[in-house]
Amino acid sequence: MDSTSSNTPTSTSQPDWARIDASVKVPVLFFIYAAAAWLVTASVLGFIAAAQLVQPAFLADCAWTTHGRIVPLARNALIYGWGFNAAFAVMIWMVARLCRTPAPKWGATLVGGLFWNAGIKLGMAGIIIGQSTGHFMLEMPAYAAAIMFVSYGIIGAGVTVIFSRRREGNMFASQWYALTAMFWFPWLFSIAQYTLVFGSLRGTSQAIAAAWYGHNVYALFLGPIALGALYYLIPKRVGRPITQYPLAQIGFWSFVFFGSFGGLATLVGSPVPAWVQTVGISANFMLLIPVFAIAINLGVTLLSGSKAGGSGPALKFFKLSVLSFVAVGGLSVVLSMPSLSHTIQFTFVGEALDQLHWYAFASFAFFGAIYFMLPRLIVRPWPSGALVTAHFWASVAGAIMIIGSLVLAGFAQGAAINDIEGYPAFADVVAASSGYLVALALGYLTLIVGHLAFFVNVVMAIYQACFSKPSDSAETVFSAPAAMEVNS
């Protein structure tokens, strides 16, 4: 579809985009497969953790499956397993497309990917047998982190090589986000590992460093890559340029600058110096600037051209992703008001915000991007339309149930424990939220259904690509789009 313009001479009959897609096909398909498999794992672990909140005896007899180990396992599978693999797939494909350069070689990237996933498996085994470091989002033992760090370097080097050979002079917003995120993560990861796991920080400053790292995995890696995918694929799907595109520059710089301090707001009410908490709350307020700019850029573009480009799940996922991005920006500000944070700080509401960041915003953007990418990589449509529909609706229903029940459970919990006059017993505080936790467990069951549908579809697609030749060439399967409409 993305036909080369007629005046660009190409050595082969294939259009540029088809050669680029073919050059990154193997590693990107591997990352999509690994991501989908981790996603199923994460939702199963998430369900077990939620079930243990409802029925504490569930799987509690064996140390390996106690709640304290299942929760970090679920989180690591979701973030490093699903999130990072999906981000790698999107990043490699998007950078190659926008630099209009086929990847020279893919072998090293594939090896990097294999080791990244081996590192996660090793790290999760370490958590299971009780070697967790105990730091939020850095639970995996140091030996696993070392493997992940090196394999990330290999994957990142592959993207850097593609970028250094770029044939397109203009840098588009998606490239700002994807390439900067690629360089930020090793910095975040190494500093956090050095200060927390290898240990030069003690006491309160550990909490500050962990909050900084945990939030920045979202704010400086998964979030920017998801935004990059949205900036690229929304105009591509609706056939119209980004509304008020110059705002994207303000949005980018303010998002990465203030976003990196936003995590400190999770420390409100904890024994850290008051000015640290103030920095976090101030950053959340300032984040209204990028939220506004990005909402205009992406939201208005989606609304203005939503009729073009046929139907399919990608645009629906993008709409929900942008909506969640705006919602989490607004909620972070509203919930940091002292009157509310007094009730909801250190309750399930914090996890609800994390799920809005990680799942409803970043993951939905990755889902949409994968629905767009994969048919082009395998040069044929998704194997099953029914599974696509099942995945979409189960993900949406599951996300609403999980986030909704966490918010309600958090408020119930916070209100019960703040009832000082009534001498609350701890058991009563737990009981106050237990009804909502049933809904949480059901939400995870719904997600398991949706993610299994997604995983089966991905496996069938890869199977087809491995064992049969596509019936048509890429430019016959995807017809060329019309020239982009501009009437600003």
Smaller CB distance to another protein: residue 302 or 407?
Answer: 302
Smaller CB distance to another protein: residue 56 or 385?
Answer: 385
The distance of closest approach from Cβ of residue 463 to another protein in the complex, given in angstroms and rounded to an integer, is: 16
The distance of closest approach from Cβ of residue 341 to another protein in the complex, given in angstroms and rounded to an integer, is: 13
Q: Under the phi-then-psi rule, with left for phi > 0, alpha for psi from -120 to 50, and beta for the rest, what region is 50?
A: alpha
Smaller CB distance to another protein: residue 244 or 418?
Answer: 244
Q: What spatial distance separates the first Cα and last Cα of the chain, rounded to whole Å? A: 25
Smaller CB distance to another protein: residue 105 or 168?
Answer: 168
Q: What is the DSSP string of 415-446?
A: HHHT-GGG---HHHHHHHHHHHHHHHHHHHHH
The distance of closest approach from Cβ of residue 447 to another protein in the complex, given in angstroms and rounded to an integer, is: 22
The distance of closest approach from Cβ of residue 16 to another protein in the complex, given in angstroms and rounded to an integer, is: 8
Q: What is the DSSP string of 243-300?
A: TTTTHHHHHHHHHHHHHTTGGGGGGTTSSS-HHHHHHHHHHHHHTHHHHHHHIIIIII
The distance of closest approach from Cβ of residue 325 to another protein in the complex, given in angstroms and rounded to an integer, is: 18
The distance of closest approach from Cβ of residue 349 to another protein in the complex, given in angstroms and rounded to an integer, is: 22
The distance of closest approach from Cβ of residue 132 to another protein in the complex, given in angstroms and rounded to an integer, is: 25
Contact 221, 188 (CB under 8 A): yes
Smaller CB distance to another protein: residue 87 or 272?
Answer: 272
Q: Which two tokens stand for residue 44?
A: 């199963």
C-alpha 394/C-alpha 400 separation (Å) is: 10
The distance of closest approach from Cβ of residue 411 to another protein in the complex, given in angstroms and rounded to an integer, is: 25
Contact 74, 46 (CB under 8 A): yes
Smaller CB distance to another protein: residue 174 or 347?
Answer: 174
Smaller CB distance to another protein: residue 125 or 300?
Answer: 300
Contact 332, 353 (CB under 8 A): yes
Closest C-alpha to 159, from 119, 120, 79, 104: 104
Smaller CB distance to another protein: residue 239 or 350?
Answer: 239
Contacts 24+ apart (CB under 8 A), 256-261: 256/180, 256/184, 256/219, 256/220, 256/224, 258/283, 258/284, 258/286, 258/287, 258/289, 258/290, 259/215, 259/216, 259/219, 259/220, 259/223, 259/283, 259/287, 259/290, 260/212, 260/216, 260/219, 260/220
Helix (H, G, I), strand (E, B) or coil at 413: helix
**Using CA of residue 295, residue 301, residue 307, residue 312, what is the dihedral sign?**
negative
The distance of closest approach from Cβ of residue 240 to another protein in the complex, given in angstroms and rounded to an integer, is: 8
Smaller CB distance to another protein: residue 293 or 402?
Answer: 293
Smaller CB distance to another protein: residue 163 or 184?
Answer: 163
Closest C-alpha to 461, from 19, 78, 25: 25
Closest C-alpha to 443, from 371, 348, 367: 348
The distance of closest approach from Cβ of residue 107 to another protein in the complex, given in angstroms and rounded to an integer, is: 25
